[in-house]
Structure 1
């Protein structure tokens, strides 16, 4: 029949293609209307990927590269507080995590958002995450004790693939200065739970504090944090260090040194209006750090005062200006470590740590005493082993000599150690057996200010424990001095200035140095 109606092959092919085109056209029409109908249905949001960017990158141009523009909702531990924070469109939402009724006989294995002494909340961690992980604000979880950390991390991990905002995990892992209490989340226990995973999170590591009696963060505090991070395998992770605004005075150089060693920021916090905050210290802090490396979680009144003067560096005090005048200019020195694998030299932007004879600081050019020379500085000592109560560490300054490859400089050695003992002696100087010593008195803070005056071949070395601030140079307070007239035989002039730590049990931290 088909062959009779379409007798030739040409006719048959033409009919076949007409039928195929009709089918294709009908199929396309069906697909088109089906597509239009499906697009009218409510769409589920695309599954976001886990955020691995920091807060500045996440908020892009909104913050203008300045942590001062970052706003916080603090202690967001109830549904009402959370909804208020979301309505306010703050950049960061901070909340505290404990077990329900933690520490009582009614304790439940249920992480909730609460800050002791409150032990109950209408907001569980699971609810908090459900409300925030698809939102527009960074979330910061502050673990008040170690008990809830393990289960909380499991809950976070279950929703990790759906998190599209930056996440900070915080705990006070080290005991702070003064009479701060011991940590309730020990360092190794907290970090070990994070070290093998949670790479999408910023780890926030702090010290316990007592802001009623604020004292500065010390070199020992930042060194303990440094060694903790280095020993637990998180040195390449994104970090932030929460620090009390009330404790910034005489702490800024120490905190800056710590941050320089990691991909890290500072988070400056104030828990209540009762915590006295010196606005000039906030301004000085801002002058020492890049603007995108500091976040401010301050009380509204403090924040308002600070915003008005944040970029007014005329607010800096004379102590701040002196601190800058005497900061160590590392561009004028050669930093030498004879053992290439040695970690004895820890250099900051304006401080130098010396440990043992292998690490030396050598002047870039030779100097001469044809005119008067004055070397003024400040040195702090800390033990390498925190448990070590009795250790020896000393700053040695060599003049009229030269450097040797065997780590034994020659010349006249002027030194002070952590007990306050001062020495002027000749080292490897032919025909000289000079040795003079004196006690400058022990410093409670293990810090000393020193002066070395050289006029011709007359050398006077003075030192004292500072009366007030260790890291701000001032006139020596009741100094002890050693003065001697040298025999020029065997001495070099001009010569390189050489500084090192003569003992290896502790660090000599050179934090102020000026030569005139």
Structure 2
């Protein structure tokens, strides 16, 4: 009975279709249209997952440029929890490197000899003393790594000659590389380092053409020294890297690799660099390096967990960082906290001037970099003259354009009681000038009252660095300056007990004494000004 009923239903359905041909055409059109829409959806999104979900949730898009912390979900968005396998240049080493970031070196077979070939192999030139200890070919290494569990890879290029042929081979594996791929090269000369073996222009041109979908790992060449107390990544070094990233229009993910023994005097510079390029740092340690744990805690204190990685090649140090990074404030050098008390606050200042000048104002919590006289900054808050209120700061002048300083003109202006400042050429107020050559001057700027001017000269230091303060005491302007000889070291945060130079200038009584901002501006564009420790302090002792 049941079978007969089903047969009757089928016959009725057939008669319905035969009698209603428009219905049949409608059904066929719906199937074709639905199939076409599914095909278009798949092609547009690169799969069934919507493109906007891939954008918002990077872990859904497993490609070579995926954020490393998204890929290693066990890291809890903390770079110190990423495990590293360092110098993984053999097939045997790969078997031991599951669930890690695998760092390996790439060179050409026979590199640096008369027998150099175009075959990329794994290893470093300094370790290749004979053919017997040559590493596997890059293609064999990649064959193995694509089938070796959950991992990420970092390829460290030892010379520019190996880059193009290696990336051509890597590109052939791209569809199989469903994990983070870091491409690393030391592209600039760093502390105690030699000239880079990788030409930066050729490297970026090749990388952007063949394999741009990666984490760009960039570094400086480094060396060691018997005394590293004065060593570090200088402002010139990080500015060179900043302009390199901007020149080649590099987009995140970007990581700067820095040597652990050189970070003591470098954290403000490195933090400024990452802030201005939306990047991270990776701290690495050479086997022969002796690392102070308080320096590692300095990095942990200043960099968010998702913006700092540690490849220390030392189990004890790795455990120490993981255990203590969230209590780093208790384990850093006390001078770090002293610097934090006078840290620059960009949100308290306003940018003014010709914004068409690219890279002219580069702020971060670590420092303010001024590069052009056509731009300037002023405080959002306005202040009344008070003997208890003082603007403090420190300025270091860099001669990056290799230009001769002009006496009385090349330096920093600090404007007090400005009444007109919409035009950078015609700021009205009291001008306190500090020159790169130690020349000091307090005078009126575009004011009718021009009978108050006073100058002084202080012997500059070799670092062209000064600590300054300006106090408006209603009837007098007081400009104090100290020469700072070791502006780049952590110890340089210690203030001087005595003032090296002071200008106390009486000002006309009829000058406006209402609320006004403070303004900082370069007098000319022959120097870059690195300004830090910039803060306004209310002190009843003044």
TM-score bracket for the superposition, by shorter chain length = 0.7 to 0.9
Q: Does 1:139 align with 2:150?
A: no
What is the Cα deviation at residue 294 of structure 1?
Answer: 0.7
Work out the CA distance in 2 between the residues paired with 1:171 and 1:423. 47
- Residue 112 (structure 1) aligns with: 121
Q: Is the 8 A contact 2:65 2:253 kept in 1?
A: no
Q: Does 1:103 align with 2:112?
A: yes
- Residue 153 (structure 1) aligns with: 167
1:21-59 CA-partner distances (Å, limit 9, x unpaired): xxxxxxxxxxxxxxxxxxxxxxxxxxx974331111112
Tell me the matched-pair count.
464
Q: SS where residue 96 of structure 2 aligns?
A: helix
Q: Does 1:508 align with 2:539?
A: no
Work out the CA distance in 2 between the residues paired with 1:152 and 1:223. 30
Work out the CA distance in 1 between the residues paired with 2:483 and 2:114. 52
Q: Is the 8 A contact 2:361 2:368 kept in 1?
A: yes
What is the Cα deviation at residue 147 of structure 1?
Answer: 1.3
- Residue 404 (structure 1) aligns with: 421
Q: Is the 8 A contact 1:391 1:505 kept in 2?
A: yes
Change (3 A) 1:413 1:307: same
Work out the CA distance in 1 between the residues paired with 2:322 and 2:396. 34
1:55-109 CA-partner distances (Å, limit 9, x unpaired): 111122x111101111111111223333333xxx241110111112211112222
Q: Is the 8 A contact 1:441 1:464 kept in 2?
A: no
1:172-225 CA-partner distances (Å, limit 9, x unpaired): 000113x32111112111111112341321111111111335411111111111
Match of 1:69 among 69, 81, 98: 81
Work out the CA distance in 2 between the residues paired with 1:422 and 1:320. 30
Q: SS where residue 117 of structure 1 aligns?
A: helix
Q: Is the 8 A contact 1:372 1:456 kept in 2?
A: no
Q: CA RMSD in A?
A: 2.5
Work out the CA distance in 2 between the residues paired with 1:483 and 1:474. 24
Q: Is the 8 A contact 2:438 2:457 kept in 1?
A: yes
Change (3 A) 1:366 1:233: closer
Work out the CA distance in 2 between the residues paired with 1:197 and 1:118. 28
Q: Does 1:494 align with 2:534?
A: no
Equivalences for residues 81-480 of structure 1 within 5 A: 81-85=93-97, 89-119=98-128, 120-135=133-148, 136-177=150-191, 179-212=192-225, 214=228, 215-234=231-250, 236-272=251-287, 274-300=288-314, 301-312=316-327, 313-339=329-355, 342-385=358-401, 388=402, 390-391=404-405, 393-407=410-424, 408-470=426-488, 473-476=493-496, 479-480=500-501
Structure 2, unaligned runs of 5 or more? 1-6, 15-60, 538-542
Work out the CA distance in 1 between the residues paired with 2:382 and 2:393. 19
What is the Cα deviation at residue 349 of structure 1?
Answer: 3.4
Change (3 A) 1:389 1:362: closer
Q: Is the 8 A contact 1:284 1:316 kept in 2?
A: yes
What is the Cα deviation at residue 161 of structure 1?
Answer: 1.8
Q: Does 1:481 align with 2:502?
A: yes
What is the Cα deviation at residue 259 of structure 1?
Answer: 1.1
Q: Is the 8 A contact 1:52 1:200 kept in 2?
A: yes
What is the Cα deviation at residue 247 of structure 1?
Answer: 1.0
Based on CA coordinates, which of the two structures has the bigger radius of gyration? Answer: 1
Q: SS where residue 211 of structure 2 aligns?
A: coil
Q: Is the 8 A contact 1:429 1:490 kept in 2?
A: no
Work out the CA distance in 1 between the residues paired with 2:91 and 2:375. 56
Q: Is the 8 A contact 2:465 2:485 kept in 1?
A: no
What is the Cα deviation at residue 169 of structure 1?
Answer: 0.6
Change (3 A) 1:180 1:389: farther
Change (3 A) 1:500 1:282: same
What is the Cα deviation at residue 465 of structure 1?
Answer: 2.8
**Higher alpha-carbon deviation: 449-458 or 72-81:** 449-458
* Structure richer in helix, relative to its length: 2
Work out the CA distance in 1 between the residues paired with 2:95 and 2:136. 11
1:477-504 CA-partner distances (Å, limit 9, x unpaired): 7622222222323454432211111212
1:326-364 CA-partner distances (Å, limit 9, x unpaired): 111223222223445654222223422223333222122
Q: Is the 8 A contact 2:65 2:213 kept in 1?
A: yes
Give the alignment's TM-score, normalised by structure 1. 0.83
1:216-248 CA-partner distances (Å, limit 9, x unpaired): 1111111111111111232x2421110111111
Change (3 A) 1:237 1:64: closer
Q: Is the 8 A contact 1:363 1:498 kept in 2?
A: yes
Work out the CA distance in 2 between the residues paired with 1:441 and 1:116. 49
Change (3 A) 1:106 1:339: closer
Q: Is the 8 A contact 1:326 1:514 kept in 2?
A: yes
Q: SS where residue 396 of structure 2 aligns?
A: strand
What is the Cα deviation at residue 278 of structure 1?
Answer: 2.4
1:126-159 CA-partner distances (Å, limit 9, x unpaired): 1211111343111101011111111111111121
What is the Cα deviation at residue 384 of structure 1?
Answer: 4.5
Structure 1, unaligned runs of 5 or more? 1-9, 18-47
Work out the CA distance in 2 between the residues paired with 1:105 and 1:175. 27
Change (3 A) 1:137 1:184: same
**Higher alpha-carbon deviation: 256-265 or 162-171:** 256-265
Give the alignment's TM-score, normalised by structure 2. 0.80
